[in-house]
């Protein structure tokens, strides 16, 4: 296997890890306001992802960094062409981080409510836009070669088509299901019961929307018969999620939903192959794996570094999930957290 193809596969793995792990983070965040009925339930939802959400985001940084180093022209073409949607994703992620870190600083319902809405919106936006972005990589974008460089000549609205918008709906529904299943897996009592019922309903919508999008992608844009394999795996896994959620088997439901996301990422990158940025104008303008790749020496050094460090990262994340594996209930949540609104303010001067 040549090094450019190896790194194309490794970047596929990195995006798979990000979407599987951050997918349930997004899902839980999307449920903060519409699902939780009171402050204790909201804090239970936050505690399900509290120890792991920032570690899950490392996969995004690694995927972006690996793309920059291994395929600089892919990075330049994609990040310049997708500038606005990627900027919106970045802003949403920043707002989401602030919401998670700051909501507990002040014991004030209005303060917490504002940050809970920020967290919810900051989860919905990337959940939708990641689907739009990856759907564009499947259908191809309006790329031309200008002065020897691949450039996206279409504007922002060229990225919005029925197929890509359905891709956004697909990722939102799949992540929402992933989050509901994760809440049911990590909580107890009434929260677990309600999350399980919600996951059972969402799993049907996830199966229908994802199934339509995947078949559309395969029939309209794939040149490879083998990409039917991940499509079939994803479909069977989503059917399994429907069955498992109805049987209240949260562990199986979460595993199968993760398998469906893995298979979907394999389908996306399989449809793209042998290109990293297909052109919808003319296939001759498509940016191929070999054309976008860095030098052999660069890829060799990256391969050695990845071989040494990736197992360490995987071991650490696995240990983190093992340590925080127990369920969380509202009985474990205290009544108050954070400073009162008046605490920390300078004293008013007194009259003499």
3-state secondary structure the chain: CCHHHHHHHHHHHHHHHHHHHHHHHHHHHHHHHHHCCCHHHHHHHHHHHCCCHHHHHHHHHHHHHHHHHHCHHHHHHHHHHCHHHHHHHHHHHHHHHHHHHHCCCECCHHHHHHHHHHHHHHHHHHHHHHHHHHHHHHHCECEEEECCEEEECCCHHHHCCHHHHHHHHHHHHHHHHHHHHHHHHHECHHHHHHHHHHHHHHHHHHHHHHHHHHHHHHHHHCCCHHHHHHHHHHHHHHHHHHHHHHCCCHHHHHHHHHHHHHHHHHHHHHHHCCEEECECCCHHHCEEHHHHCCCHHHHHHHHHHHHHHHHHHHHHHHHHHHHCCCCECHHHCCCCCCECCCCCCCCCCCCC
Per-residue pLDDT at 1 exceeds 80: no
Q: What is the pLDDT of residue 338?
A: 64
> Which range has the worst mean pLDDT, 101-110, 217-226, 326-335, 340-349?
340-349
> 3-300, which class in CATH?
mainly alpha
pLDDT of 343 reads: 55
pLDDT digit string, tens, across residues 175-184: 999 999 999 9
Q: What share of the chain in percent tops pLDDT 90?
A: 69
pLDDT computed for residue 104 by the predictor:
87
Domain ranges of the chain: 3-300
Burial 169-187 (b: 16+ CB within 10 A, else e): bbbbbbbbbbbbbbbbbbb
Q: What is the pLDDT of residue 157?
A: 85
Per-residue pLDDT tens over the stretch 107-145? 888 999 999 999 999 999 999 999 999 999 999 888 888
Q: What is the mean pLDDT of the chain?
A: 90
55-108, pLDDT tens digit by residue?
Answer: 899 899 999 999 999 999 999 888 888 889 999 999 999 999 999 999 888 888
- Token pair 């956004």 is found at 168
What pLDDT does residue 352 have? 45
Residue 337: its pLDDT value, please?
Answer: 64
Question: Which band of pLDDT confidence, cut at 50, 70 and 90, is reported for residue 285?
Answer: confident
* Whether residue 147 has pLDDT greater than 90: no
pLDDT of residue 90: 95
Higher pLDDT, 229 or 157: 229
Residue 350 confidence (pLDDT) above 50: no
Report residue 290 as tokens.
């070999």
Within 8 A by CB and 6+ apart from 29, the residues are: 49, 96, 119, 120, 122, 123, 124, 179
User: Mind listing the pLDDT tens digit for each residue in 25-61?
Assistant: 999 999 999 998 988 999 999 999 988 888 899 899 9
**Confidence category of residue 336, pLDDT binned at 50, 70, 90:** low
User: What is the per-residue pLDDT for 211?
Assistant: 95
Residue 328 clears pLDDT 90, i.e. is over it? no
* pLDDT of 347 higher than 70: no
């Amino acid at each position: 296997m040549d090094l450019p193809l190896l790194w194309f596969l490794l970047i596929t793995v990195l995006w798979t890890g990000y979407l599987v792990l951050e997918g349930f983070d997004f899902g839980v965040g999307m449920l903060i306001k519409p699902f939780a009925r009171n402050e204790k339930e909201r804090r239970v939802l936050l505690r399900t992802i509290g120890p792991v959400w920032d570690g899950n985001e490392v996969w995004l940084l690694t995927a972006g960094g690996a793309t920059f180093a291994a395929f600089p022209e892919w990075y330049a073409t994609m990040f310049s062409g997708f500038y606005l949607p990627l900027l919106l994703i970045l802003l949403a992620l920043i707002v989401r981080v602030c919401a998670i870190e700051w909501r507990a600083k002040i014991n004030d319902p209005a303060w917490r409510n504002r940050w809970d809405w920020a967290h919810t919106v900051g989860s919905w936006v990337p959940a939708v836009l990641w689907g739009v972005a990856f759907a564009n990589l499947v259908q191809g974008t309006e790329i031309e070669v200008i002065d020897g460089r691949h450039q996206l000549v279409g504007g922002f609205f060229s990225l919005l088509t029925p197929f890509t918008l359905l891709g956004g709906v697909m990722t939102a529904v799949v992540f929402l299901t992933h989050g509901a299943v994760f809440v049911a897996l990590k909580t107890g009592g009434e929260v677990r019961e309600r999350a399980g019922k919600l996951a059972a309903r969402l799993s049907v919508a996830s199966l229908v929307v994802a199934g339509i999008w995947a078949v559309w992608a395969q029939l309209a844009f794939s040149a490879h018969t083998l990409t039917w394999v991940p499509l079939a795996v994803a479909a069977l896994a989503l059917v399994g999620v429907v069955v498992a959620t109805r049987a209240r088997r949260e562990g199986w439901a979460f595993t199968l939903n993760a398998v469906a996301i893995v298979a979907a990422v394999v389908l996306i990158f399989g449809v793209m192959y042998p290109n990293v940025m297909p052109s919808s104008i003319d296939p001759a303008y498509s940016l191929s794996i070999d054309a976008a790749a860095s030098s052999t020496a660069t890829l060799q050094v990256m391969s050695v570094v990845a071989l040494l460090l990736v197992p360490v990262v995987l071991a650490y994340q696995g240990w983190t999930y093992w340590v925080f594996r127990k369920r969380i209930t509202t009985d474990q949540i205290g009544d108050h957290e954070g400073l009162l609104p008046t605490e920390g303010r300078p004293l008013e001067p007194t009259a003499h």
